[in-house]
A and B are shown apart, each in its own frame.
Chain A
Amino acid sequence: DVKVTQSSRYLVKRTGEKVFLECVQDMDHENMFWYRQDPGLGLRLIYFSYDVKMKEKGDIPEGYSVSREKKERFSLILESASTNQTSMYLCASSSSGVGNEKLFFGSGTQLSVL
């Protein structure tokens, strides 16, 4: 069964901490994405990557960075966590190709910043 695995389901951190959210996919997908999901705001794209070592800013990159050293792993980094970064974080992957991109999502990480 194909999978996108996020390292933690729940995470509690303190303001100012550096936070790493890890995502691994086993489908040999080229594309990987990080979203945050908040009530009433839907899914908002933070960063994405279409290849190893490559990254692109999404709609809300401020306060975040990413790392993609290997094809299967895409990490989201909160350099200095703040309370407004409390959210559900979803990782997704897809294969490259022409059209009909299908996203496979992980189960999400609920991050609370206190």
Chain B
Amino acid sequence: TQLLEQSPQFLSIQEGENLTVYCNSSSVFSSLQWYRQEPGEGPVLLVTVVTGGEVKKLKRLTFQFGDARKDSSLHITAAQPGDTGLYLCAGEDSGNTPLVFGKGTRLSVIA
């Protein structure tokens, strides 16, 4: 069974600080996705990374896929209260199987 470990589990920071959250596995994934879930809502896809070493930017969010396609990181620059939420990574196998989700990092940005 493929597993994705996310760290840290919880993160509480002040507005304006930078942060990085991690998603690690011992398995190789064909692609990796990051979702954000706000309170009372379902997760929403932020980005998909496909190529080993790939870096994608979404405004103040930077996503990186590890060279070996086993891990990924999400870096947020100058965090805002609107970044508050649960960040989930999800890995896609090469076969026709459902996504594997990590347990998430719950981020709280305090104004």
Q: Which residues of A contact B (CB under 8 A)?
A: 4, 33, 40-43, 45, 48, 50, 58, 90, 92, 99-103, 105-108
At the interface, is chain A mostly helix, strand, loop or mixed?
A: loop
The answer to whether B30 touches A99 (Cβ under 8 A) is: yes
**CA distance in complex: A40, B102 (Å):** 11
Q: Which residues of B contact A (CB under 8 A)?
A: 9, 30-31, 33, 35, 40-45, 48, 50, 88, 90, 92, 96, 98-99, 101-104
At the interface, is chain B mostly helix, strand, loop or mixed?
A: loop
Among A90, A99, A106, A108, point to the contact of B31 (Cβ < 8 A). Answer: A99
Known: A50-B96, A103-B45. 17 other contacts (CB 8 A): A4-B42, A42-B104, A43-B101, A45-B98, A58-B98, A92-B42, A99-B50, A100-B31, A100-B48, A103-B35, A103-B99, A105-B43, A105-B44, A107-B40, A107-B41, A108-B40, A108-B41
